[in-house]
Structure 1
């Protein structure tokens, strides 16, 4: 069994790491701020590394679930220096594809392999091993790591070479965050015009406009469940900023995405920058900007 290192056992990473343990992989983890997931995984048989260098030395394959490219770049710098040749770095973060391609080239130059595998799904799906993985990797690396990914992902699609997984993830998140921006604005219009949130939802739910993202968004907007979709407004803005950079790099005009990014920027910069300020809460910020108290 491949020996796995896991950096970032937070909302998504904890469930993924538990699935790897359940499949019999020797697992090494490292603490950041919250020790609760580390202690849970240790109780299940994981080893805790004192530092990132020790984790790198103990692992054939290292998974990374970090907030974004700056953090991934710092982690990879240590892995490049300390992992044994032939090891694989798996970046499950939503990262900037420009950075990803540079890191992949550095990994190959160091005798290591690269695979980006950003995630689709929720923390609940992470806990049951039912995530989706959008993979960017050379085919031989993909074939080696696919059985490992299959311990925590139900759907695995190789998009292309290194960086392709992160590119597809940003496109996916453009749609998701675009839905969120549309829903928040539509609900504000519904409230301002007198239709109201509940009536709006009664028409849209079950129609062709319904979808899984709509239902989790409305889990907060209608039912008041603040944890209906635990993806922060800060991460939404970060992803849309990465997508804007990707569009600039390819020379593509992206006016709709610019509007979506600005909706999240408004929320983050007017108080929505906390660790428990999630995407469905965008509805409150758009309403407030229009003089509506929800």
Structure 2
């Protein structure tokens, strides 16, 4: 079986690594944050590499499990970057949420080294990552997709081949805009309901039988009733970043983006107003703070 290298073993990446190990793959990893899930992956059988070059020389497939475009570009072009050390024939799978234009540029440079690049944007939460039940939106040629499918099946439940290179990232940005746009509406509505002294159980009963029913309401419900955000552990800083990326893509394609601009402003203000690592359901409390 192919040796797989993973760069980024955070909340999602460490679970992906462990699921690959469970399915029999030899897994190397590199992390910029020593101690951050490191022991967990090592105790499961993963092998730590001190540099990205070491990882590249001992891996046939490399997964990038980092936040977004700046982190991916640093991995590729920065000090000890993969572009300098990648071996011919290596497949690089970008699982980040990134700007498609950057994805295309990186892929061209990687292909110039006789290696391969595809985007496989992740969806769902760390809970599903632990269970090996992530969603994947893959942008790649059919041949490359088929080659990587057995790897994807180790950690993903729903695997969609959505088009050629960069289309995974394109569709992920659209998906996240829809999810985060709905979330902004939900948070603002609940904040208003609290201000208007509406019973939260009554609010949820009405929404669940009408236009508010759906995934976003169900993820918000534990926080609305019990201040439990475990079902929606997505930070407002990541939300702000993803809307920013969506706006960049919309601008590139001359698409309308008025709603996204409003949602983006809400999340950007929340990042300044509160802890950037606050989760999206906590937007309810942030929006409930009266302006000075």
1:232 and 1:256 map into 2 onto residues whose CA distance is 20
In 1, the alpha carbon distance for the partners of 2:64 and 2:52 equals 11
Specify the alignment match of 1:181 in structure 2.
184
Alignment partner of 1:195 is 2:235: no
Partner of 2:76: 76
| Alpha-carbon distance in structure 1 between the residues aligned to 2:211 and 2:271 | 31
Deviation at 1:213, TM superposition (A): 2.4
The number of residues matched between the two structures is 289
Take 2:120 and 2:290, find their aligned partners in 1: how far apart are those partners? 37
Q: Distance in 1 between matches of 2:11 and 2:262?
A: 28
Question: In structure 1, what is the Cα distance between the partners aligned to 2:111 and 2:31?
Answer: 28
8 Å CA contact 1:80, 1:112 repeated in 2: no
Question: Which whole-Å deviations, capped at 9, do the CAs of 1:221-270 have from their partners, x for residues lacking one?
Answer: 22111433111100000000000111111111211111111110110011
Task: Provide the secondary structure at the position in 2 that maps to 1:117.
Answer: strand
Whether the 8 Å contact between 1:30 and 1:38 is mirrored in structure 2 is no
Structure-to-structure mapping, 1:89-238, within 5 angstroms:
89-205=92-208, 207=210, 209-238=212-241
Quick check: 8-17 or 72-81, which moved more? 72-81
Q: Counterpart in 2 of 1:33?
A: 33
- Equivalent residue for 2:48? 48
Q: Give the alignment partner of residue 258 of structure 1, picking from 255, 258, 261.
A: 261
SS in 2 for 1:134: strand
Partner of 2:66: 66
Among candidates 259, 269, 273, match of residue 272 of structure 2: 269
Aligned to 2:289: 288
Greater alpha carbon shift after TM alignment, 205-214 vs 74-83? 205-214
Give the Å deviation of 1:217: 1.7
In 2, Cα distance between the equivalents of 1:17 and 1:136? 21
Question: In structure 1, what is the equivalent of residue 279 of structure 2?
Answer: 278
Partner secondary structure for residue 253 of structure 1: coil
In structure 1, the residue corresponding to 2:288 is in which secondary structure? helix
Post-superposition CA distance 1:162-194 (Å, at most 9, x none): 110000000000011011100111112212333
Contact 2:87 2:113 in 1 (8 A): no
- Give the CA RMSD over aligned residues: 1.5
Structure 1: segments with no counterpart, 5+ residues: none
1:207 deviates by: 4.7
TM-fit CA distance, 1:121: 0.8
Deviation, 1:208, is: 5.4
Runs of 4+ in 1 over 6 A off after TM superposition: none
CA shift at 1:34, angstroms? 4.8
Tell me which moved more, 212-221 or 99-108: 212-221
Tell me the SS of whatever aligns to 1:29. Answer: strand
Q: Match of 2:57? A: 57
